[in-house]
């Protein structure tokens, strides 16, 4: 595929075109192309779009670290990625800045070490697996040395977009005392080639549980059949779908955003049709740093017996909570 004119358009948007070798080989697939090739609509400026869509900076006590929830922090170990996803909520900051400077990294790790309430360190970016193997292993070891950290989570696109980086040595280094979990970012089954399948198999066989997160993207995966194919494929690769994110308010990304009703309808179409193990939670990251919230769809409403609950076919059923008064009247034992 000739991508020269795409390159020019990408430069105009200020977010350069970048695809890994594995994705370049799959750009003829519409579900892949829509994620990585720039689109003239990126130049449309919406009043709704934000530079920091999910409020990373609102709860950032030290550079590169966001502490929004009591028990976990995210650490942006590098701002470099193997691919540039046009819908990225960090597209304003992702680029070639490279790894967090050692002084900032040390300050971030000191912050974690000084707070026993932090049980989990989530490595994100950019893409943390863009760091050199030596740096990744060193970072895992430094986090593992903090006694109260039980979990390390890696949020990455690498197993799919640059599967060759998932080396046996890297997988071996993930076999640590704080359990290492991976959350794979993948949006379409067409992204997953045989090399990616191999990388995921290495991780799973190496003892790393793998979850997935996807972004609901208008024009790329906003149909129940497309997501069904993705989630089924992930389960076969022993990857559990975790989150389906509503697209963020990204500058230049409005054309990717579905309505919430559209997202709920897709989830409702999947519920009851495909394995419950295949279903992620549909969530929105509230602008302003207020956190992630499940978006339903809603199956519960008020009714004459207390509740009415909608089944997957759309039929409503009455449902009552326990009658505590009645239970109290009969003494136990
Ligand atoms: C998304 C996010 C997390 C992780 O949330 P989970 O619901 O545990 O996956 C943690 N911290 C921040 C700041 C986040 O944006
Ligand atoms: S890999 Fe992640 S951080 Fe990097 S551009 Fe894509 S969505 Fe953004």
Question: What would the pLDDT profile of 218-248 be if each residue is shown by its tens digit?
Answer: 999 999 999 999 999 999 999 999 999 999 9
Q: Which residues are catalytic?
A: 68-69, 72, 81, 85, 88, 90, 248, 285, 292
Sheet holding 239-246, edge to edge: 65-69, 72-76, 120-124, 151-156, 179-185, 210-216, 239-246, 281-286, 291-294
Same domain, 290 and 169: yes
Same domain, 312 and 189: no
Same domain, 128 and 171: yes
Residue numbers of the domain that contains 182: 4-298
Cα distances from 31 to residues 5, 24, 161, 187, 270, in angstroms, run 20, 13, 14, 8, 19
Cβ of 26 less than 6 Å from ligand 2: no
Same domain, 207 and 162: yes
Cβ of 84 less than 6 Å from ligand 2: yes
Same domain, 128 and 276: yes
Q: How many Å lie between the centroid of ligand 1 and the Cα of residue 265?
A: 25
Report the number of distinct structural domains present in the chain.
Answer: 2
Pocket test for ligand 1, best of 75, 122, 241, 248 (most atoms within 8 A of CB): 122
Same domain, 206 and 309: no
pLDDT in tens, the chain (333 residues): 667 889 999 999 989 999 999 999 999 999 999 999 999 999 987 777 777 777 778 889 999 999 999 999 999 999 999 999 999 999 989 988 889 999 999 999 999 999 999 999 999 989 999 999 999 999 999 999 999 999 999 999 999 999 999 999 999 999 999 999 999 999 999 999 999 999 999 999 999 999 999 999 999 999 999 999 999 999 999 999 999 999 999 989 999 999 999 999 999 999 989 999 999 999 999 988 899 999 989 999 999 999 999 999 999 999 999 998 888 888 776
Same domain, 291 and 211: yes
- DSSP 3-state of 194: helix
132 pairs with which residues across the strands? none
Atom in ligand 1 nearest the alpha carbon of residue 291: 15
Same domain, 323 and 239: no
Same domain, 313 and 174: no
Provide the angle, in degrees to the nearest 10, between the axes of the packed helices 260-270 and 224-236.
50
Closest CA to 16 of 252, 249, 254: 252
Q: How far apart (Å, rounded) are the C-alpha atoms in residues 51 and 177?
A: 37
- Cβ neighbours, 10 Å, residue 2: 6
Same domain, 285 and 318: no
- Check whether 238 is labelled as a binding-site residue: no
pLDDT confidence of residue 235: 98
Q: CATH number of the domain that 98 lies in?
A: 3.20.20.70
Same domain, 286 and 315: no
Same domain, 329 and 219: no
Q: How far apart (Å, rounded) are the C-alpha atoms in residues 148 and 156?
A: 24
Q: Is the pTM of this model over 0.85?
A: yes
């Amino acid at each position: 595929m000739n991508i020269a004119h795409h390159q020019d358009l990408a430069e105009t948007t200020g977010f350069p075109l970048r695809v890994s070798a594995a994705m370049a080989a799959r750009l003829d697939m519409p579900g892949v192309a829509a994620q990585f090739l720039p689109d003239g609509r990126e130049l449309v400026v919406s009043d709704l779009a934000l530079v920091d869509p999910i409020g990373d900076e609102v709860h950032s006590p030290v550079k590169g670290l966001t502490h929004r929830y009591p028990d976990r922090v995210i650490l942006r170990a590098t701002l470099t990625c193997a691919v540039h996803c046009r819908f990225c909520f960090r597209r304003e900051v992702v680029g070639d800045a490279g790894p967090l400077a050692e002084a900032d990294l040390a300050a971030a790790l000191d912050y974690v070490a000084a707070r026993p309430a932090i049980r989990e360190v989530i490595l994100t970016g950019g893409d943390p697996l863009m760091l050199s193997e030596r740096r990744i292993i060193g970072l895992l070891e430094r986090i593992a040395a903090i006694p109260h950290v039980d979990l390390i989570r890696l949020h990455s696109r690498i197993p799919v977009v640059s599967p060759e980086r998932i080396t046996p040595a890297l997988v071996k280094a993930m076999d640590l005392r704080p359990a290492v979990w991976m959350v794979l970012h993948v949006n379409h089954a067409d992204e997953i080639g045989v090399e990616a399948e191999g990388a995921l198999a290495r991780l799973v066989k190496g003892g790393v549980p793998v979850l997935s997160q996807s972004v609901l993207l208008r024009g790329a995966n906003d149909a129940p059949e497309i997501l069904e194919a993705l989630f089924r494929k992930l389960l076969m690769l022993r990857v559990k779908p975790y989150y389906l994110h509503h697209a963020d308010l990204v500058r230049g990304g409005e054309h990717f955003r579905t309505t919430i009703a559209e997202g709920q309808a897709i989830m409702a179409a999947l519920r009851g049709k495909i394995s419950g193990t295949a279903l992620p939670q549909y969530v929105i990251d509230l602008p302003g740093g207020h956190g992630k919230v499940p978006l339903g769809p809603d199956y519960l409403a008020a009714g004459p017996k207390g509740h009415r609950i909608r089944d997957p076919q759309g039929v409503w059923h009455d449902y009552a909570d326990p009658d505590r008064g009645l239970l109290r009247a009969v003494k136990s034992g």
